[in-house]
Amino acid sequence: MDQPNAWRKAEAIFEEHGGMLRTSKALALGVHPRTLYALYAAGRLQRVSRGLYRLADLPALGNPDLATVAARIPQGIICLISALAFHEITTQIPHQVDIAVPRGTKQPRLEFPPTRIFRFSEPMFRAGVETHRVDDVPIRVYGAAKTVADCFKFRNRIGIDVAVEALRLFHERKKAPLRELLNYARLCRVERVMMPYIEALQ
């Protein structure tokens, strides 16, 4: 295939997949390595992070960290402080992306952005997952109620003050039934820890 056709075909493959692909995925979809690197050298592709490329003519990423992590760690789920920030129920400013993976998962390797890995049991990992599109990239993130319960579960790592603030802001801003929150509290085995704080909101 001549170069112009190879470039057009490769760019079309990127467009079909939201404009951003890991190198391994691009090659599996039929993009030749030589074409991939030629497009990058010509400025038609941007290198988002190691092994991750996106079309250069796309609008700037609004939330590049979440989009990058979702593309590089597809089995992971955005959790804890990163999920609180996504749902706007924290005053914390995330300095890294919090990612949940199942226990027993091999440590994900990612140079950038900074990530913090949390290992969840299988029932905790599967529950409360939502899929949102950010910068045209599908991102899996825990729902607000599940995230609050997770924060109490991991309070020793993120701080009880962060968990309590998240509960208060969840109650004020989400207007969701506390029944949903209690269901996740039971799943995460933090119902007894959370109840005094929940009762104080009544």
Q: Give the 3-state secondary structure of the chain.
A: CCHHHHHHHHHHHHHHCCCEEEHHHHHHCCCCHHHHHHHHHCCCEEEEECCEEEECCCCCCCCHHHHHHHHHCCCCEECHHHHHHHHCCCCCCCCCEEEEEECCCCCCCCCCCCEEEEEECHHHHHCCEEEEEECCEEEEEECHHHHHHHHHHCHHHHCHHHHHHHHHHHHHHHCCCHHHHHHHHHHCCCHHHHHHHHHHHC
Q: What is the CATH number of domain 64-201?
A: 3.30.460
Q: Return the domain boundaries, the chain.
A: 3-55, 64-201
Q: Tell me how far apart the alpha carbons of residues 81 and 53 are, in angstroms, rounded to a whole number.
A: 27
CA of 110: how far to CAs of 50, 73, 129, in Å? 8, 8, 22
The whole-number pLDDT of residue 129 equals 95
- How many angstroms separate the most distant Cα atoms in the chain? 69
The whole-number pLDDT of residue 14 equals 83
Distance of alpha carbon 1 from alpha carbon 75, whole angstroms: 35
Relative to beta strand 115-120, strand 97-102 is parallel
Q: Walk along the chain (202 residues) and give the pLDDT tens digit of each residue.
A: 567 788 888 889 888 877 778 888 888 888 888 888 888 888 888 877 677 787 887 765 546 578 778 877 888 999 999 999 999 999 987 778 899 999 877 766 766 677 888 999 999 999 999 999 876 778 899 999 999 999 999 999 999 999 999 999 998 887 777 888 999 999 999 999 999 988 887 7
* pTM for the full predicted model: 0.69
**pLDDT of 59:** 65
C-alpha 89/C-alpha 202 separation (Å) is 18
If one counts every other C-beta atom within 10 angstroms of the C-beta of residue 162, the result is 20
103: number of Cβ within 10 Å: 10
pLDDT the model gives residue 159:
92
Each residue's pLDDT tens digit, 53-73: 878 877 655 465 787 788 778
Predicted confidence at residue 23, as pLDDT, reads: 85
pLDDT at 110: 67
